[in-house]
């Protein structure tokens, strides 16, 4: 361990593993350490089920009705992958896809007036949906056609909208869309958590809706993918990539001290030895004095013996409860997966409800979601602080990732990865940087 590295990475969360993979592919000498004996940090999948009960201080352990403990892989942080999104692109460019198998999530639903409806995202679905009346449908269809044809490099497609200046509120007004339609467009298609976007330039929202419909177009049932055996497979896939390119991994390795000289990181001390480095990447738990709290997220993991009502018995789905529907500032999300993804025992389902905490009684805040899941066999409640770094790392060369937020997909995580890359490398992130070199050092070329 007493060696000089270009980059030391602390923690094996997804953000850290992707960055260590990219750095290794780019020829950097990387040492990757984690104080835990398992991969994934905050974003790991817990197995066997007994381990999850222990983690939540439920000493009685799982009842026999839960089946075999080792059939379970329970994600601590629920997220799906957008089929056409940035994480899938990262997986494809690095060929980490060869270590993973994915399934399409069977449906995306939105909550309105106490009921759930399938999210309409194609013209045909929009015309058949019960979410809107007849005239509303025609207006919404016009809006979807506008978004599909919109090209920020071709002013002919703007129809009088200025992508940099017209607010999204004005675009909705232009198509005369009612409040319910605005709710599900902003929250279930563009996937915003709050309504702040309404008064911002519309380009970002239009691109988000395009991402949704292009992701949906790839596989048809929903725009989301989910890996078999749980999200814990993702960091491990990128860790393998890093190892193929010479990265060194050490799990179960306590980090005693981060050594700074003149305000700049020079190494990491562990068990009496020092590994030297030029740059350091880590998650907030390794540098509590360099991060600030930016809020809290509540996540409730629910084990069910039945699919969620009114979802056509889907074995996986997402439900979005727009904040307006339940008088909140932020949306509530439900991610549901099941035995079909090798994450639960036969006939069992895992639904995770999450939202950004707004009050002193976070459990009450997610009640509308829990009502949709009844009856619930077992609940595990986690309230996590969200942290973000207090500086950009340019002075100290310590680059800290942000905590995983309440969104149900990995787009914000990928933005964080691209941002850290840019600060470290001094140049904008380019997916081409992630491509494996023609012949892998370890003979892993085209197998």
**What's the pLDDT at 440?**
54
Q: Are 123 and 269 in a shared domain? A: no
How many Å is the maximal CA-CA distance in the chain? 72
394 and 357 in one domain?
A: no
The rounded distance, in Å, linking the Cα atoms of 33 and 273 is: 13
Query: How much of the chain, in percent, has pLDDT values that exceed 70?
Result: 97
CA-CA distance, 81 to 386, in Å (whole number)? Answer: 21
**Residue 119: what pLDDT?**
87
Nearest to 148 by CA among 87, 216, 61: 216
Same domain for 392 and 274?
Answer: yes
Are 375 and 398 found together in one domain?
no
Q: C-alpha distances in angstroms, 71 versus 50, 67, 340, 407?
A: 11, 8, 11, 27
Q: Please state the domain count of the chain.
A: 3
Does any domain span residue 447? no
Question: Does the predicted TM-score (pTM) go above 0.85?
Answer: yes
Those residues with Cβ within 8 angstroms of residue 343's Cβ, 6 or more apart along the chain or in another chain: 45, 72, 73, 74, 75, 229, 230, 337, 350
Q: Is it the case that residue 443 has pLDDT exceeding 60?
A: no
Same domain, 74 and 152: no
pLDDT of the residue at 446: 44
pLDDT at 421 over 90: yes
Q: H or E segment at 373?
A: helix 367-373
Q: What is the mean pLDDT of residues 133-148?
A: 90
Q: What is the pLDDT of residue 60?
A: 93
Q: Do residues 176 and 244 share a domain?
A: no
Q: Same domain for 170 and 318?
A: no
Separation between Cα atoms, residue 136 and residue 140, nearest integer Å: 6
Average pLDDT in the chain: 92
In 172-263, the DSSP E strands lie at 224-227, 248-250, 257-261
The tens digit of pLDDT for each residue in 314-339 reads 999 999 999 999 999 999 999 999 99
| pLDDT recorded at residue 121 | 63
Q: What is the spatial distance between Cα 413 and Cα 16, in angstroms, rounded to a whole number?
A: 11
Sign of the torsion formed by the C-alpha atoms of 195, 198, 201 and 204: positive
Query: Distance (Å, rounded) from C-alpha 150 to C-alpha 165?
Result: 15
The string of pLDDT tens digits covering residues 51-97 is 999 999 999 999 999 999 999 999 999 999 999 999 999 999 899 99
The answer to whether residue 48 is domain-embedded is no
The SS3 call for residue 285 is helix
Mark whether 280 and 392 lie in a shared domain.
Answer: yes
Residues 152 and 85 in one domain: no
Domain that holds residue 202: 119-219
Average pLDDT over residues 1-24: 93
pLDDT at 1: 67
Domain annotation covers residue 329: yes
CATH number at 21 reads: 3.50.50.60
Phi-psi region of 229 (alpha: psi -120 to 50; beta: other; left: phi over 0): left
């Amino acid at each position: 361990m007493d060696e000089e590295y270009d980059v030391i990475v602390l923690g094996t969360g997804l953000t850290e593993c992707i960055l260590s993979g990219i750095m290794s592919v780019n020829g950097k000498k990387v040492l990757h350490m984690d104080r835990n004996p398992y991969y994934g940090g905050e974003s790991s999948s817990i197995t066997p089920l007994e381990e999850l009960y222990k983690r939540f201080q439920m000493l009685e352990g799982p009842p026999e009705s839960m089946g075999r403990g080792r059939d379970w892989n329970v994600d601590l942080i629920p997220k799906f992958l957008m089929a056409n999104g940035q994480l899938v692109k990262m997986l494809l460019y690095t060929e980490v896809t060869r270590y993973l198998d994915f399934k399409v999530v069977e449906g995306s639903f939105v909550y309105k007036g106490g009921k759930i409806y399938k999210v309409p995202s194609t013209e045909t679905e929009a015309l058949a949906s019960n979410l809107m009346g007849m005239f509303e449908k025609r207006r919404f269809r016009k809006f979807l056609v506008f978004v599909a044809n919109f090209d920020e490099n071709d002013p002919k497609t703007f129809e009088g909208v200025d992508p940099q200046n017209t607010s999204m509120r004005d675009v909705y007004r232009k198509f005369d869309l009612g409040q319910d339609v605005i709710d599900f467009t902003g929250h279930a298609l563009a996937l915003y958590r709050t309504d702040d976007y309404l008064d911002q330039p519309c380009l970002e929202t239009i691109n988000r809706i395009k991402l949704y419909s292009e992701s949906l177009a790839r596989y048809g049932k929903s725009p989301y993918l989910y890996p078999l055996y749980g999200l814990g497979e993702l960091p491990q896939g990128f860790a393998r990539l890093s190892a193929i390119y010479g990265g060194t991994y050490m799990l179960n390795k306590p980090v005693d001290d981060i050594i700074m000289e003149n305000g700049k990181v020079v190494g990491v001390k562990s068990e009496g030895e020092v590994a030297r480095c030029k740059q350091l990447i880590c998650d907030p738990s390794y540098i509590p004095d360099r991060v600030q709290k930016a809020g809290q997220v509540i996540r409730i993991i629910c084990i069910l013996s039945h699919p969620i009502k009114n979802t056509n018995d889907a074995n996986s789905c997402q439900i979005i409860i727009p904040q307006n529907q339940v008088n909140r500032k932020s949306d509530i999300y439900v991610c549901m997966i099941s035995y079909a993804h090798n994450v639960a025992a036969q006939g069992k389902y895992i639904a995770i409800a999450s939202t950004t905490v707004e009050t002193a009684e976070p459990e009450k805040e997610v009640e509308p979601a829990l009502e949709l899941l009844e009856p619930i066999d077992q609940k595990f409640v986690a309230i996590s602080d969200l942290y973000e770094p207090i500086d950009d790392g340019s002075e100290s060369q310590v680059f800290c990732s942000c905590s995983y937020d309440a969104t149900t997909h990995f787009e914000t995580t990928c933005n964080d990865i691209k941002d850290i890359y840019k600060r470290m490398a001094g140049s904008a992130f380019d997916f081409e940087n992630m491509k494996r070199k023609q012949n892998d050092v370890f003979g892993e070329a085209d197998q």
